[in-house]
Chains A and B, each alone.
Chain A
Amino acid sequence: MRILLFGLLIFTLSSCVDIFDEIILHADGSGTYKYTINMSASKVKINSILALDSVDGKRVPKLPEIKEKIELYRSKLEEKEGISNVKVEANYDDFIFKISCNFDNVTDLQNGILEIVKEESKDKNDPAFDENWLSWDGKTLIRTTPNFQSVIRKLKAEDQEKLKEGKYISVSRFDKTVTKCDNGQAQISPTKTAVLIKSSTYSVATNPSALKNTITVAN
């Protein structure tokens, strides 16, 4: 899967990655999704790798190629049904990438992302395409993360170790009050309208249930 391989490239280029993901869900099921990747802690390493032709037998893409690829994914996502206002902010000095979009419902968001992954994938029957990461029935949001275990296994032990230093923060926001959530690591904000889970990037990538959470809001 190319997008997953692109993910591998991100992990390879930068062993220490902070990720901040946020979903804002309105009562009608529409909302906004934000995904921010911060690789500034590894910018020296990324810059030194980008200066090379290849690392460990893998060709290192040039910066214009990375920019082109990001723009390609942005425009593809923009075209997906139920998704609008796709924005990408890329800071190539500190290697911070912010992606955000609006969605009509969480199914459109998940399908849009899955369709792009599938379009880019050589293996159209990958079981990962059947995974359900998001569902919302008007009262309960069920969240999980894609399985990156196979990608992580390809990393060197030292890079895997570095990945453990990276933070992963996942936030879900609602118009209504949160009544309960089932992930033991989750914190509910004092305003009771947001739920946060803090983990390491390594844990999230290797354990798909690390961020798994069923959040129920008041009627």
Chain B
Amino acid sequence: MKIKVLIPITLLGTFSWGQKSEDIIPKDAVTVFSLNNISILQKVSMDELVSYDFMTELQSELFDGSTQGKTLKDAGIDFNQKMNIFYGKNSEFEISGFTFGITDKNKLFDVFDDFDRMESLVPGTEYYNNYFNHLMIQGNVGLLIRVDTDQEKLTEITDSIWVARGFELPWSSEDEYYDEEMDHYDNEIPIDDPAMNEDGDEVEEIIEEDVEETPPAVDEMNDMFKNYYELRDSIESEYSHKRLLLITEEIFVKKQNLKAIDPRLANQLTHTSDGIFYLDNSRNFKNTNSLFYLQAAFPDLYRDLNDLYTGNVVLGDIVLNQKTIDLKIEANYGERLGSIYQELNSAKFDKNVLKYIPKNNTGFFTYQINLKKGYEKAYQVIMPILSDEKDARISANVLTIELLNDFINTDEVFNTYKGSMFGTFNGIKRVKTKRIEFFYDEETFEYGEKEIEAEEDMPIFTLGFTTARPDIPNKILKHMSRITSQFKNMGDYWVYEDAILNSIPLYMINKNGLFIFTNDEDLAKNHSNGYGTESLTGKLVKNAAKSGSIYGYINLGDMINRLPESILNDHRFNVLASMRGKKGEIEVISSKTTRQKTTYNLTYSFDGTFDNAGKYLLDLVNTAYLVSTKR
């Protein structure tokens, strides 16, 4: 009898202790960064680690001071195991967290000292909790996870229960709603970081909602009933807990994890590079809330479109070298979508663009696609899917597309806009603007206004498109110049006064098979046929010409540190801020596109050597996280 009991326990123990950190990544994770060589992170302080954006979902515990002056090495983390950072979102819930190996649990809880041991959710695991963060330990691996119910879904459920109980929704009064809207620009947007107050001081996370103006469900004296937000909190808590239980069971009991169900991640995890990443775009497509209507109204069409996106996964490797960091990114797709990309990316490199890229640029890209071939392939692949749908509206749309395709001369449309383009960033220049100045009469003290010339710092951009029909943009520009004096034909170029930010002229050059927009007066006035000997030469030209559909080059020191913050929204600013202070160059080269994949090689070469490779790696992960989560 004893033997019968001992065997499963021994097997369970062996199995648990043999488990690796990558075996407990939830299957709902859409993005995964896995750091193989985390020994390089030994020098990274915990304070630095928790300041990264990808850690913000878990920060309430980590910002409480227990991390002060400690490194990852002090936290009992196993450096022989991978550290896997994950994020996932679907129409039901959002998860984020990381998995890691553990060598010393006591040290771990010196850092995670606010976690309280709770009753295990599933047998064979230890469960610790701190507010919204959950730490599960099984054997020598840990999963730190946060689970949030989708806010739209939560509102929907709460509203339905609230209304079913016979109460009005808190915002049902239009006037109140209007006032709240108008007040927004008086009030600061709530700080995203719940652990910091306005002054940047650390505070305990506030988990209570402001319920001051919430109408009570019933008589306020009757505390048996909850108000709207209390009801919402209860539902959120219950849903998130149930979801956590499901995820825990999947991972630790049923052994269903992302690595087990997705061989592409499993294969990527076998790579010996310093880090790998995985982004399942097909699930991002399926989980988009906006497709809910499509799914409900046209299930067949939704299924077919899903099929089209199947296999759309981005996989990558990060390799740290002495003076470079290499990123190899593979964009994989299914056969049908791949066939469209293959046609789209079959364009030849347009050498004319090189004339307009100056030697002293701080960044540029070239992008060549064959829009005509891509359109024809897309027509061939997508139209049968749409044509199969019996719905009258879709059928009418199919007819419209077919008629347009027959009546319009698509050859000439795609001759005008071929799809290929290039762009350059030429740094910051002082550009001329106009402003109104007040003056007053010394005798009467009456004031007057006069227009004077002024100068502003402006980032200088150029964007050009390949065209085989320069007469078409010319026709449009001539028409524009007839209806507004702001459009002027200057011979070699056109100018549109006050086009940018209502203040700065935009120049248009229509020559050499290119239609170019720029705010660079020098390019328009002095180099409308290209920069000549001052144009780009050498290795970068060869690399751009050899590249597939995309080539990009950035001089980080010049570009990132000089790009004006005021032209960026908060998300782009965060991405930029995450790269500030870096020097060196980034080069992106793409391979020829096949039906299965396109490969991109990104090389980040920097000045000198890195003192702390781990920090560079985390900076890169953070930038990739910000880009992929699109917050």
Q: Say whether A196 contacts B566, CB under 8 Å.
A: no
Decide if A48 is an interface residue (CB 8 Å cutoff). Answer: yes
Decide if B189 is an interface residue (CB 8 Å cutoff). Answer: yes
Looking at A55-63, A79-87, A109-117, the stretch in contact with chain B turns out to be: A55-63
A186-200 residues at the B interface, CB under 8 angstroms: 189-191, 194, 196
The residue from B185, B456, B503 contacting A61, defined by CB atoms under 8 A apart:
B185
The residue from A45, A93, A94 contacting B566, defined by CB atoms under 8 A apart:
A45
Decide if B182 is an interface residue (CB 8 Å cutoff). Answer: yes
A1 to chain B, nearest CB (A): 9
B336 to chain A, nearest CB (A): 37
Contact code string B500-514 (vs A, CB < 8 Å = 1, else 0): 011110000000000
Q: Say whether B185 contacts A169, CB under 8 Å.
A: no
Contact code string A45-70 (vs B, CB < 8 Å = 1, else 0): 10111011111011111000100110
- Whether A58 touches B436, Cβ cut-off 8 Å, given contacts A43-B503, A44-B504, is no
Q: Say whether B436 contacts A38, CB under 8 Å.
A: yes
Contacts of A218 in B (CB 8 A): none
Q: Say whether B501 contacts A58, CB under 8 Å.
A: no
Chain A interface SS verdict (over half):
mixed
Residue of chain B at shortest CB distance from A3: B186
Q: Say whether B445 contacts A93, CB under 8 Å.
A: no
Contacts of A5 in B (CB 8 A): 186
Q: Say whether B566 contacts A41, CB under 8 Å.
A: no
Decide if A124 is an interface residue (CB 8 Å cutoff). Answer: no
- Whether A47 touches B447, Cβ cut-off 8 Å, given contacts A6-B186, A41-B435, A94-B435, is no
- Whether A60 touches B458, Cβ cut-off 8 Å, given contacts A40-B435, A196-B445, is no
Q: Say whether A52 contacts B447, CB under 8 Å.
A: no
Residue of chain A at shortest CB distance from B456: A44
Q: Say whether A54 contacts B189, CB under 8 Å.
A: yes
Residue of chain B at shortest CB distance from A16: B435
Q: Say whether B182 contacts A191, CB under 8 Å.
A: no
A143-193 residues at the B interface, CB under 8 angstroms: 167, 169, 171, 173, 189-191
The residue from A6, A9, A194 contacting B445, defined by CB atoms under 8 A apart:
A194
Complex alpha-carbon distance, A53 and B568, angstroms: 10
Complex alpha-carbon distance, A72 and B324, angstroms: 58
Q: Which of B183, B185, B501 has the most CB of A within 10 A?
A: B185
Complex alpha-carbon distance, A54 and B191, angstroms: 12
B422 to chain A, nearest CB (A): 24
Residue of chain A at shortest CB distance from B501: A47
Complex alpha-carbon distance, A20 and B449, angstroms: 11
Complex alpha-carbon distance, A49 and B454, angstroms: 19
Complex alpha-carbon distance, A57 and B191, angstroms: 7
Q: Say whether B185 contacts A60, CB under 8 Å.
A: yes
A114 to chain B, nearest CB (A): 18
Residue of chain A at shortest CB distance from B198: A57
Contacts of B522 in A (CB 8 A): none
Contacts of A167 in B (CB 8 A): 438
Decide if B156 is an interface residue (CB 8 Å cutoff). Answer: no
B160-202 residues at the A interface, CB under 8 angstroms: 182-189, 191
Contacts of B185 in A (CB 8 A): 9, 58-61, 65
Q: Say whether B435 contacts A43, CB under 8 Å.
A: yes
Decide if B104 is an interface residue (CB 8 Å cutoff). Answer: no
> Which of the four size classes fits the interface of chain A?
35 or more
Complex alpha-carbon distance, A44 and B454, angstroms: 11
Q: Say whether A59 contacts B438, CB under 8 Å.
A: no
Q: Say whether B438 contacts A18, CB under 8 Å.
A: yes
Decide if A2 is an interface residue (CB 8 Å cutoff). Answer: yes
The residue from B189, B498, B566 contacting A58, defined by CB atoms under 8 A apart:
B189
Q: Say whether A44 contacts B501, CB under 8 Å.
A: yes
- Whether A20 touches B447, Cβ cut-off 8 Å, given contacts A6-B186, A44-B458, A52-B569, is yes
Contacts of B504 in A (CB 8 A): 44
Decide if A88 is an interface residue (CB 8 Å cutoff). Answer: no
Decide if B5 is an interface residue (CB 8 Å cutoff). Answer: no
Contacts of A51 in B (CB 8 A): 501, 567
Contacts of A169 in B (CB 8 A): 438, 440, 447
Contacts of B438 in A (CB 8 A): 18, 20, 36, 38, 167, 169
Residue of chain A at shortest CB distance from B183: A2
Q: Say whether B503 contacts A47, CB under 8 Å.
A: yes
Decide if A96 is an interface residue (CB 8 Å cutoff). Answer: yes
Q: Say whether B501 contacts A59, CB under 8 Å.
A: no
Contacts of B182 in A (CB 8 A): 65, 68-69
Residue of chain A at shortest CB distance from B564: A48
The residue from B186, B188, B454 contacting A2, defined by CB atoms under 8 A apart:
B186
Complex alpha-carbon distance, A69 and B435, angstroms: 25
Contact code string B557-593 (vs A, CB < 8 Å = 1, else 0): 0000000101111100000000000000000000000
Residue of chain A at shortest CB distance from B444: A189
Decide if B433 is an interface residue (CB 8 Å cutoff). Answer: yes
Q: Say whether A41 contacts B454, CB under 8 Å.
A: yes
Q: Say whether B188 contacts A58, CB under 8 Å.
A: yes
Contacts of A57 in B (CB 8 A): 188-189, 191
A104 to chain B, nearest CB (A): 24
Q: Which of A18, A20, A48, A196 has the most CB of B within 10 A?
A: A48
Decide if B411 is an interface residue (CB 8 Å cutoff). Answer: no
A106 to chain B, nearest CB (A): 19
Contacts of A96 in B (CB 8 A): 436, 449
Q: Say whether A59 contacts B184, CB under 8 Å.
A: yes
- Whether A47 touches B189, Cβ cut-off 8 Å, given contacts A18-B438, A41-B435, A54-B570, is no
Complex alpha-carbon distance, A52 and B183, angstroms: 18
A1-32 residues at the B interface, CB under 8 angstroms: 2, 5-6, 9, 18, 20, 22
Complex alpha-carbon distance, A48 and B503, angstroms: 10
Decide if B443 is an interface residue (CB 8 Å cutoff). Answer: yes
A11 to chain B, nearest CB (A): 14
The residue from B183, B443, B566, B569 contacting A189, defined by CB atoms under 8 A apart:
B443
Residue of chain B at shortest CB distance from A194: B445
Contacts of A43 in B (CB 8 A): 433, 435, 501-503
Complex alpha-carbon distance, A15 and B202, angstroms: 31
The residue from A44, A49, A59, A189 contacting B189, defined by CB atoms under 8 A apart:
A59
Contacts of B433 in A (CB 8 A): 43-44
15 other contacts beyond A41-B435, A48-B567, A55-B566, with CB at 8 A cut-off? A9-B185, A36-B438, A40-B436, A40-B437, A43-B435, A43-B503, A45-B456, A51-B501, A57-B191, A65-B185, A93-B498, A96-B436, A167-B438, A171-B447, A173-B445
The 8 closest A-B pairs by CB, nearest first: A47-B501, A61-B185, A40-B435, A40-B436, A194-B445, A44-B456, A44-B503, A196-B445
Residues of chain B having any CB pair with chain A under 8 Å: 182-189, 191, 433, 435-438, 440, 443-445, 447, 449, 454, 456, 458, 498, 501-504, 564, 566-570
A-B residue pairs in contact (CB < 8 Å), sample of 10 = A9-B185, A20-B438, A48-B564, A48-B567, A53-B569, A54-B189, A58-B188, A60-B185, A169-B438, A173-B445
